[in-house]
Structure 1
Amino acid sequence: MAQPFPLMSLPEEIVQLVCRQLMKYGYLDSQALSFVCRASKALNRIATPVLYSYFNSREKMEKMASFLRSISLRPELGGYVQEIVFNRFYWFELTEDHLSIFADLATRLGIDLGGWLEEYPYEAMTQLIIAQIPNVKIMDVSTHEVCADEGIGAFTLLEQLAAQVPKRVSLSQLQQLAIGHSDIRRISVGYFGGIIELAPHIRELTISPCYGLYCDEEPKNTRVSLSNVTKLTIDGGHISKPQLESIVSLCGRLESFEFKHHTIYAGLEEISVTPRELIEILARHRHSLLSISVDLGQRERHKTDSFCFSGVCEDGDQILSLREFSRLETFKIDGTLILFPEITKPDYHTNILVNLLPRSIRHFQLIDAQYESVANMIRLMDSIADFPFLKEVTLTGNTADGRLGEDKVDFDKHELDTLYAMMERNEIMLGNDRYQAELNAY
């Protein structure tokens, strides 16, 4: 009969790697690693930091409460957390034991809980956990079942901590932060201002969704700084020119910008930012931006007495040129951001893309495009000497009920054959439909 293998006979570094593999493949349920922690004192010492390095509430408020209880009673456990995810939850009534421990924690932190645990238990527990994980590097915070439209539940407990002198809490290791609402509710960056105040070194910020720097929360947190953010992703929301400008202007040196428009609201007072306005706002980062990815296909367009959510870009709203973006390598857009003169019109020409793209461009993707886009792409290939770094192009016509409207765009086969031959001759790859699939997912 085979004898059990003595795990602790291995070097400690190997045992730690085994624990990390258990965490990696059992991330939906950390029970296996929990058993390892209880096997012996030696294994507990090695496995516990791995067990607590990652936490995901997995939609369970009870799990959050248990985790908060553990790190409140043993603060050293919170120091092990490297990555954490808060998301929507199933209701759980806090016990007297929970309430007592959390109240003691608030006293130690020097903050006033007031009625938070009764009125906003999810937001309260989220903030109390955040206050005890000083070494976290990656954080994803999604609010849920709160009336965020009124600014209720904003993360002001953390604002109290940020205002302390000297500070008792810091998130100086936090590099990646994702914030938002699981129901695409109207919510702002300022709603989560307390997190950002405590984390001065955030480099990647994702807001899902975003309706501006401030919405309805009062008083507004005017101490938010994004000076170290180099990658800004806005995944959904209805955002106006002033609101977008207020966020982008706080970023010190953007290298990557992504924006996908989708919202559950219609008829909001603030008009959504236009393609041209968006590029004008990004121009302050024209010498640092390497990548821009924008989908405004479902943007609300105001007419004289109505509004719509698809169609060709209005003349004057389109992007005209990116020539000033001296380092831009990747540009991904949908067909509503640029306007090709129609072949039947007297002003028809095929220089739109030649005039649009900067010399530095390497990857260009255009989906849900007009019929005339192929001829403009051919003209781009004719001018390839002006774009010596171009390596990949993706082009798709508008799909049925796509961003340009209900009519499907079928490109001319002869024009496509000509384009593909020119691309092959110039050793330019034809991109696949990854971007199309990503955008259609919304």
Structure 2
Amino acid sequence: MRSPENPPAPSACLPRLFPNPRADREAPYGAPERAILSRAAFEEAMAEIGAWPGYVPTPLRSLGGLAREAGIDRLWYKDEGTRFALGSFKALGGAYAVLRLLTREVTARVPGVPVTALDLVVGRYARVTRTLTVTTATDGNHGRSVAWGAQVFGCNCVVYVPAACSAGRRAAIEAYGAKLVVVDGLYDDAVRRAARDAAAAGWFVVSDTSYTGYMDVPRDVMQGYTVMVEEAISQLPASERPTHVFVQGGVGALPAAVCGHLWESWGRQRPRFVVVEPQAADCLYQSAVAGRPMRSAGRLDTLMAGLACGEVSLLAWAILERGADDFLTIPDEGAVAAMRKLAEGRHGGRPVVAGESGVAGLAGLLCAAAHEETRRALGLMPDARVLVFGTEGATDPEVYERLVGRPPEQVAA
């Protein structure tokens, strides 16, 4: 991925759009989709995560100034920069999946006794959990969440990162007691190494991507993300719904969680759903073009490190194949420009600290709105109301300062 040492100067953001020919807005959210994500499973996740110490809904911000810049009526930004102590929506997924996995494993070893999160937190079954190890591959935020969950719920953790993962993100993972393994390769190489080592050592993989033979845990990760989506639904003005949602891609777990939850909740009345990716890491875009899961055509050398993924999650694609309306790619400078606009308070409110991967949905909207052909193709009319998810704060303060020009604490102050 591209180094943030010399970030690109903001310039014309040229988006690339592919309207999804397989999108089916009349299709019901049926049994195949509910087997992956469902409101019933969301209720279980909400009951659990909502009881964790420090849980509060993150704010939904109205960005009036940027709405005017984009030529639309409303723009809402779900700000995940204060989520628990991790500063990222990933806290809802990895840690929840660790809890679910440990609960299942302890129950299997101590049958007939219900196991709760509190039991694990206070170490009631430490003699079991201390013998278990969870592992994952990450570009930063997911690994931090898994490490945090392992520390809180009492098991061991090994996290694999690609060589380009920043020093700040590595240190943040190690701060939660995880063993860090640096893989000489990209994110997808780290995924394969983690799976291989886990199989040899008897560890449990807690990944946000799914592949053949590995489906159960990624469902839990994605279901945890729907807590954020339901919060946003409840925070919208009572008389207003978004006409569009722009969400960043990655392996697809996040957009599938947002798309699936809105699809089941609102059916045919759901917003137009746009998946946004870096031009250099476009596995979802390429999958939409081909009509089946495909690798990225790019080199994955993007500043949007959390989105530098070359392969699609199969579970995510099962929802996005018909649920996503459009796939959009943007250059890195679009994300940097969006970070700076938020930091400058260009939206009309107090400055917002947002990381380079977390602003991709917002950047996709602004890039699309700046180009008339793309604007028309997406139906971004003056009465459009858009919801985006700002999925991280400054999860690496040094990288943030290089890209924005000021440290995050100065922006927040």
TM-score range, shorter chain: under 0.3
TM norm structure 2:
0.25
- Greater Rg, structure 1 or structure 2? 1
Which structure has more helix as a fraction of its residues?
2
Structure of greater relative contact order (alpha carbons < 8 Å, 6+ residues apart) = 2
